Amino acid sequence: MLSKKTKYAINALVFIAKNKKDEPISVSRISEEHQIPLKFLETILTELKNARIVNSTKGKYGGYSLNQTPERIQMAKIIRLFDGAIALLPCVSENFYGRCEKCIDEETCGIRQIAMEIHSETVKRLKAATLADIIKREEKLKK
């Protein structure tokens, strides 16, 4: 399951992306709109900023805006940033590889093979799921 942090991050990004004027959006604005605790959301946006997904404008009338086009912001990246590995097992993870505890032989592990297949399928979909894609889906669903 995705953590609240990841879900809040996705909601915030969708909210920022939907804003057509190119003025930055403040944390307090997103916080009110989505009922996300202000201070918690602040740390989330700081992480997104450190990952160069958004950038910030300081001072009055400041806030956050996207640092990449919505087409380039993939859910795979957001999830990895906040929740870590997407894989079911560390031994099939691309970005957070690790051996399983007490694994006898990775090469002949049956459950590993299954995890690999699920992983590649899931990652493929989470890379296709960009901010732009999500917004397009929502527009379609609203009709």
Partner DNA sequence: TATAAAACCTATCAGTTTTATAGGAATTAA
Partner DNA sequence: TTAATTCCTATAAAACTGATAGGTTTTATA
User: Could you say which of 20, 52, 61, 108 contacts its own copies (CB under 8 A)?
Assistant: 108
Close Cβ partners of 51 (under 8 Å, ≥ 6 residues apart): 77, 81
Q: Is 21 exposed, middle or buried (0-12, 13-18, 19+ CB in 10 A)?
A: exposed
Tell me if 74 sits within 8 A of 132, measured CB to CB: no
Residue 81 interacts with its own copies (CB under 8 A)? no
From the list DNA, its own copies, none, which binds 113 (C-beta under 5 to 8 Å, kind-based)? its own copies
User: Could you say which of 15, 34, 47, 56 contacts DNA (CB under 7 A)?
Assistant: 56
Part in contact with DNA (CB under 7 A); list of ranges 41-49, 85-93, 107-115, 126-134: 41-49
E strand segments, 58-141: 63-66
Tell me if 118 sits within 8 A of 88, measured CB to CB: yes
| Nearest residue to 125 via CA among 77, 85, 75, 78 | 75
From the list its own copies, DNA, none, which binds 85 (C-beta under 5 to 8 Å, kind-based)? its own copies
| Smallest distance from its own copies to CB 139, Å | 9
- Whose Cβ is closer to DNA: residue 81's or residue 133's? 81
Site string for DNA, 79-108 (x = CB under 7 A): ----x-----------------x-------
From the list DNA, its own copies, none, which binds 120 (C-beta under 5 to 8 Å, kind-based)? none
E strand segments, 7-142: 54-57, 63-66
